[in-house]
Structure formats: structure tokens, C-alpha cells
Amino acid sequence: MSIPCFRKALDSRRLRLHPGRLASVQSTARKRQERQIVRSLLNLRDLLPWFGPWVLCPSGRPVSDRTIECDLKFLIAVFNWAAKSRDEAGRLLLGSNPLKGLKTPTAKNPVRVVLLEEEYHALVRVSRKMDWRFHVALVLAHETGHRIGAIRKLRWTDIDLEGGVVRWRAEHEKTGYEHTTPVTAEVLDALEEARRENPGNGDAPVLPASTDASRCAGRSLVRYWWNRAEKLAGLEPQRGRGWHSLRRKFASDLMDQPLKVLCELGGWKTAKTVLQCYQRADEDRLRKALASRRNGALDPV
């Protein structure tokens, strides 16, 4: 019942309530009304024709259910915090979370492409035609399994060429997990090439921006490199095949390793994420598993 209807009912029936009780009932009605309004407004699929560019990707397609889910979870977390926090006068910032109980959309079949080995080698062959920075970024993404956002923000103070290790700063990791990992010979060769191409002071970026060598390469630049390299390599466009497909490839290539080791190498905080979102067993691996089971079975007595 809305507040105006509630007041009308009181007047028509000549109800008399204690002022405190009346305020409590009105507050409850107001909260219910606010919750209904917010829930109806947050049905984003119905609002697509109205809001147009505000809920569309740069490509012009509607945003995915996964994007809406993440944004709504963040908004719900903010409302939960506001419903428990108070201002200087001791009043709650928000009476209650209007989105409590809201069911967020989920992607039933999310697109999680794993870059194939032959696709990676095709990109490597054309990488230096693009830019030496793209070649270095490509090798680091393949060999370390880290996100391109963390890779492009690496600085030489994070690199120990003699020890063969890289430090991944917490502020550049999505999970906020700072860690250090050993790297392969391929990574060291790529870093040596980067040092020759861009000699600088200790805090200089490994992958500098085009216009300012003191700044790291931007997100749009590395996305441009990838899209251009796909065309040069003759790869057919495929939705979901981007920098992150290398991270999935890393997790799948090391599927036989203990999960704890894999998580430490790739910077995952929990194994659950690796199992749900990153690892994918191909047909060859599945056949080998079946064959090993048959070979290891005991002969019948």
C-alpha cells in the first residue's frame, strides 16, 4: 500500500493511532514503495529501448547479462554498506537495502574462449610487425598467465632479470593479491628486448605509452594491437578471443599441475575461480584420461 493510499484509509475509517506507531507504519509503507520502484526500474532489459547508448557496448550491442550481474552486485554491496553505516548525527545513511532479495541475471552459457596453440604461434609470427611492445606483451601474457591490465602496468622496479622473477603489485591486480612469480626463458628474452628498445630509469614502464614514455601503455592501445594482429595473422574474428583467452590457455595448459601451484603462478586467490571459469579440458585430454583409467584398472579375478 502506498503512503497516499494509507493516509486515505486512515481518514475514511477514522483510525486513531499513537503518533509513534503511525510513523512506524508510514515508514514501513515508504520502504516497501521505494523497494518496488527500484526493482521495477532495474529491469534493464525492459529499459533498453529507452536508454539506448547508456546500456550498449561500444560495438552497439546490448551489454551482457554478466556485466549487468557484476554492476548490480556492486550496487547491492554499496546499499548494504549504507544500510549499516551512520552519519555524524548517528543516523543510518540508508534505512534499508531497496535491492534486498533482487535476483540478478546470470549468463547461462558464457563465452569463454581458450586461445589455441596454433593461433598463438600465428600471432607471434606477426607480433613484431605490429610493435615490439605487442610482442613483449603477447609473450608475457602467454608465459605468465596474468591479465593484460597487470602486464601493461609493469615497471622495471618489478622485474628481477638476474633472479628471473616478476613482482605483481596488488594495486594492478583485480583481486588485490600481490605476489611474485618465477618466469620462463621466453619471458626473460622478451624483457631483454624491451630493455634494448626502451632503456630508462628504474621506475620506467616496461611497456611505455606512445606519446609519453613515463606512462604505461593504455587499455585502448593494447586492444588495438590485438585486433590488428588478428587480421595480420589471418585469424577469423571470434567473440571472446582476446587477451583473456591467453589466461584461460595458461590455466588449461597447466591442468595437470596441483591447483595450489597453478593459482600461485597465475595470481588466482582461490581454486574455485580457476575450475569454474578458466580451465577447459579438450577432447585429447579427455581421451587420455579414459585410456589411463583402462590401463590402470585391475584385471578381474
Pair (146, 214) in one structural domain? yes
Q: Which of 132, 295, 283, 296 is nearest to 206 (CA)?
A: 132
Pair (87, 125) in one structural domain? no
d(CA 35, CA 16): 27
User: 18 is in which domain, residue-wise?
Assistant: 1-41
Pair (237, 132) in one structural domain? yes
Q: Which of 253, 254, 244, 261 is nearest to 147 (CA)?
A: 244
d(CA 159, CA 161): 6
pLDDT by residue, tens only, the chain of 301 residues: 445 554 554 454 444 445 555 455 556 655 555 555 555 545 544 544 444 444 555 556 666 677 777 778 888 888 888 888 888 888 888 888 888 887 777 766 677 889 999 999 999 999 999 999 999 999 999 999 999 999 999 999 999 999 999 999 999 988 888 899 999 999 999 999 999 998 777 789 999 999 998 999 999 999 999 999 999 999 998 888 999 999 999 999 988 889 899 889 998 888 887 877 787 777 777 787 788 777 765 455 4
**Per the domain annotation, does 160 fall within a domain?**
yes
Say if pTM beats, i.e. exceeds, 0.75: no
Pair (131, 238) in one structural domain? yes
Positive or negative: CA dihedral 192, 196, 197, 201: positive
Q: What is the domain-level CATH number for residue 163?
A: 1.10.443.10
